[in-house]
Amino acid sequence: MADSIVTYTDPGCPHCRRLRQYLDGHGIPYRNRDVTADPEAVAELERMDAPGVPVTVVGGETIVGFNQDRLEEALRRHGVATGSPA
């Protein structure tokens, strides 16, 4: 499942930290791409035409920014249980 959820983040971005805290707190596996250390991650964001970070890709669906409601809807659509925080 971690391969089907990918986040693109910057460690200095507060919205990115909130996104990762949400995923970690709910025990949702994901693969994080740090755009400050990974030039290929930056190239991927450019191909997605994403205006900035955070960006989350859930089963091929791209979510720009951290919007908990949109993220939970996408996770449900792709069969990822969000449950209560750990």
The answer as to whether 9 is a domain residue is yes
* 60 in a structural domain: yes
Q: Domain for residue 46, yes or no?
A: yes
What is the domain extent for residue 25?
A: 2-77
| 85 or 15, which is more confident | 15
Residue-wise pLDDT for 44-81, tens only, equals: 999 999 999 999 999 999 999 999 999 999 999 998 87
Amino acid at 17: R
- Give the chain's domain count: 1
- Enter the pTM of the model: 0.90
85 located within any domain: no
73 part of a folded domain: yes
Q: Average pLDDT, stretch 15-35?
A: 96
Copy the structure tokens of residue 24.
């970690």
Nearest to 30 by CA among 78, 42, 69, 45: 78
The answer to whether position 21 is within a domain reads: yes
- Residue 34 sits in a domain of what CATH number? 3.40.30.10
